[in-house]
Structure 1
Amino acid sequence: MAQRKRGSGRDELPGGRSQRQLRVGEELRHILSDVLRNGHFRDPDLADLVVTVTEVRISPDLKAATAFVMPLGGSDAPKIIAGLNRASAYIRTEAVKQINLRVAPQFSFKLDHSFDEAARVTRLLQQPAVRADLDKEPDDE
């Protein structure tokens, strides 16, 4: 009989993340949005920062969190991501004041490419050949 790892499969959802990870990630997303909106950053790359925090993925042990962000208009994204990663200690300090976790997670920031992927899928679906397949009736086959 195969031995099951401790905690494996418990409350795990199809994406491989537990309900707790999703709940904490969503709470952190809201907190990060507030921190980034009200943040008083010294870094010139983060002056007048306007970003959307689209998702926060947290590790199973809740010690590491990756925040996916999209700068308004997508301009200067690499510079903003680098600035956010430099300011992660300050952001962590501010976030910890608003969340009740035993250990404050270390934050890393990445550019969210899901909008680009959605636009690519939309373009594919609008191609004439694909459109013709989609418009076919199931009886036409």
Structure 2
Amino acid sequence: MAKNKFHSGRGPSQRQLRVGELIRRNLSEILNRGDVHDPDLNRMSITVGEVTTSPDLRVATAYVLPLGGDNAEDALALLRRNRVELRRALTKNLTLKFSPELRFQIDETFDRMDDTRRLFAKDDVRRDIETGASEGEDAE
């Protein structure tokens, strides 16, 4: 059976992780400095939580969220509208063979963390956790 060069099933490579973090930092700086010539985008404070890259490093997906989580869809539309200018500004700071195509998604990590906190705060869940912890102590 032929090995699929685009997905090994093991997750991202060290190079993908390194390049993703480099893009995340540079993109954050570009947005914070207001290097884009769009006053609507420059008025927003946008957090870049993570950037994932394709195995060939030609596509970078940035997971973003505006400060406070308000107007997330508007921020996404503005980023998508300015992705060519963002890509150009990013290319100036990176020394990659190819300038990656930028894609943007809403970062839902914070929502999932809030959901997890709410779940652990429920009385029946706390009781189960405490019961499991005390049973684990008895086993020692």
Which category of TM-score, normalised to the shorter sequence, fits these structures?
0.7 to 0.9
Runs of 4+ off more than 3 Å: 2-9, 40-45
Q: Aligned partners of 1:26 and 1:40: how far apart in 2?
A: 20
Q: Aligned partners of 1:3 and 1:41: how far apart in 2?
A: 44
5+ residue gaps, structure 1 = none
Indicate the percent of aligned positions where both proteins have the same amino acid.
Answer: 39
> Counterpart in 1 of 2:52?
57
Match of 1:25 among 20, 24, 28: 20
Distance 1:68 1:7, change over 3 A: closer
> Counterpart in 2 of 1:75?
70
Q: Aligned partners of 1:40 and 1:51: how far apart in 2?
A: 13
Distance 1:3 1:81, change over 3 A: closer
Conserved 8 A contact 2:30-2:89 = yes
Superposed CA offset, 1:3-55 (max 9, x none): 4345875xx8x4x1111100000000000011111124443531312111100
5+ residue gaps, structure 2 = none
SS of the residue 1:97 aligns to: helix
TM-score, with length taken from structure 2: 0.87
CA RMSD across the alignment: 2.0
TM-score, with length taken from structure 1: 0.87
Superposed CA offset, 1:72-127 (max 9, x none): 11111100110001100000000000000011001011110010001001101111
> How many residues of Structure 1 are paired with residues of Structure 2 in the alignment?
135
